[in-house]
Amino acid sequence: MSLPMSLAETGVVSTGESVFFWIVAPLAVLAALGLLFARKAVYAAMCVVFVMISLAGFYIVQEALFLGVAQIVVYTGAIMMLFLFVLMLVGVDASDSVVETLKGQRWIAAIGGLGLIALIAAVALRATMPAPRGLELANEDTNPVGVARLLFSDYVLVVEISGVLLVTAAVGAVVLTRAERLRPKRTQREVLEEKMAAYAAVGDTGLRGLPAPGVYARHNAADVPALGADGKPIEDSVPRVLRIRGQQRSIASVSPELAAQLEASTSTHAGDGGARSVTQSGQPGMPGTEPAPGTTTVDGERPTSQSTEDTGTKRAEQEEQQ
């Protein structure tokens, strides 16, 4: 006989299975003890994940391929990850107090657990069992097909009912974890009307969108304020969080030369703001920097969109006229 002796003929499992069992079973028991003794809940969860995976190995070795795969997918993939999510939600350091609330509970529980082990082991070892048959016959058309045949013939009603159970559980979880609504729901219209009322009452309340930080400020990070058309930094353009933490930076700290230019240009234009009609801004980096104040303005014309060359020729014409 070339094939290894089957379970039905010998009553004992194959050597490979024994080796697997004696390697994995002690590790699984150790990991299970980790659930009992690990201080941190996440370690306990990882220990249970290990136990689940080794149990999946046992299922596959015991000719229950379908359940072995389902064990990995359902337990380690879904359930234990759900546990980890909830641990993160509740706080990893969800304190596990060492204080005994019931006196002697720890010893009673430990003795009870050890007694349970002894009892189950004694029953399992001493019971008279029929000779094991093995699943060769039942798994003729592979194990998943065999399980599916049973599930969808003898147990089809139970499958339907468990579908209902799963739907109920999902709805129940949603209902249980839904947050209570503390104040009435605000519609978009109400939000808008509130904003408009605040604008009418107070004035500039940020009804417009805030300007983006860093635009035209020689620096594109969010911690530098944007420059307004008048060359002054707009503090509102820096995100509120950065301002509260004191992490915003001035333009001078990013680009000293730009700050100096701004200083020069604003001081030049300071006095003649009323005298000039709308012209080029005269800010650094903009066309029209060089012309001195007063010379760029031609009454009745709109020089804002002109390039420097145009202004240059115009100035030449003006000089000729004078």
Partner 1 sequence: MTLVNYLVLSGILFSIGAMAVLLRRNSIIALMGVELMLNAANLTLITFARWHGNLHGEVFAFFVMLVAAAEVVIGLAIVVSIFRTRRSASIDDVNLLKN
**Segment 52-81, which members bind partner 1 (CB under 8 A)?**
52, 55, 58-59, 62-64, 66-67, 70-71, 74-75, 78-79
Q: How many residues does the chain have?
A: 322
* From candidates 72, 138, 254, 286, binder to partner 1 by CB under 8 A: 138
Beta carbon nearer to partner 1, 134 or 228: 134
Show the site string, 94-123: x = touches partner 1 by CB under 8 A, - = not: xxxx---x---xx--xx-xxx-xx--xx--
Output the smallest distance, CB 1 to partner 1, in A: 20
**How far apart are alpha carbons 93 and 40 in whole angstroms?**
7
Token output for 161: 């009912």
Output the smallest distance, CB 262 to partner 1, in A: 52
Residue with tokens 């204080």, as numbered in its chain: 99
Beta carbon nearer to partner 1, 72 or 298: 72
Beta carbon nearer to partner 1, 154 or 204: 154
Query: Positive or negative, the Cα torsion across 143, 146, 152, 155?
Result: negative
Token output for 12: 């004992």
Name the segment binding partner 1 (CB under 8 A); options: 40-48, 203-211, 213-221, 281-289: 40-48
Name the segment binding partner 1 (CB under 8 A); options: 134-142, 232-240, 271-279, 306-314: 134-142
Residue 137 binds partner 1 (CB under 8 A): yes
Phi, psi of 79 (to 5 degrees): -70, -45
Beta carbon nearer to partner 1, 129 or 278: 129
> How many beta carbons lie within 10 A of that of residue 79, not counting itself?
13
Token output for 227: 């420059």
Question: Interaction with partner 1 in 149-208: which residues (CB under 8 A)?
Answer: 150-151, 154-155, 158, 162, 165-166, 168-170, 172-173, 176-177, 179
Output the smallest distance, CB 185 to partner 1, in A: 20
Q: What is the DSSP string of 205-260?
A: SS-SPPPPTTTTTT--STTSPEE-TTS-EEGGGS-HHHHHHT----HHHH-HHHHH
Residue 89 binds partner 1 (CB under 8 A): yes
Token output for 224: 């530098």
* From candidates 82, 212, 229, 316, binder to partner 1 by CB under 8 A: 82
Query: Positive or negative, the Cα torsion across 82, 85, 90, 91?
Result: positive
* From candidates 5, 90, 191, 196, binder to partner 1 by CB under 8 A: 90
Beta carbon nearer to partner 1, 179 or 275: 179
Measured at the alpha carbon of residue 12, what is the angle toward residues 9 and 17, in degrees to the nearest 5? Answer: 120
Output the smallest distance, CB 33 to partner 1, in A: 6
Question: Interaction with partner 1 in 222-241: which residues (CB under 8 A)?
Answer: none
Question: Interaction with partner 1 in 289-318: which residues (CB under 8 A)?
Answer: none
Question: Interaction with partner 1 in 254-273: which residues (CB under 8 A)?
Answer: none
* Site residue total, partner 1 (CB under 8 A): 89
> How many beta carbons lie within 10 A of that of residue 284, not counting itself?
18
Phi, psi of 233 (to 5 degrees): -70, 140
Those residues with Cβ within 8 angstroms of residue 262's Cβ, 6 or more apart along the chain or in another chain: 227, 231, 251, 283, 284
Beta carbon nearer to partner 1, 161 or 264: 161
Those residues with Cβ within 8 angstroms of residue 87's Cβ, 6 or more apart along the chain or in another chain: 41, 42, 45, 94
Output the smallest distance, CB 3 to partner 1, in A: 18
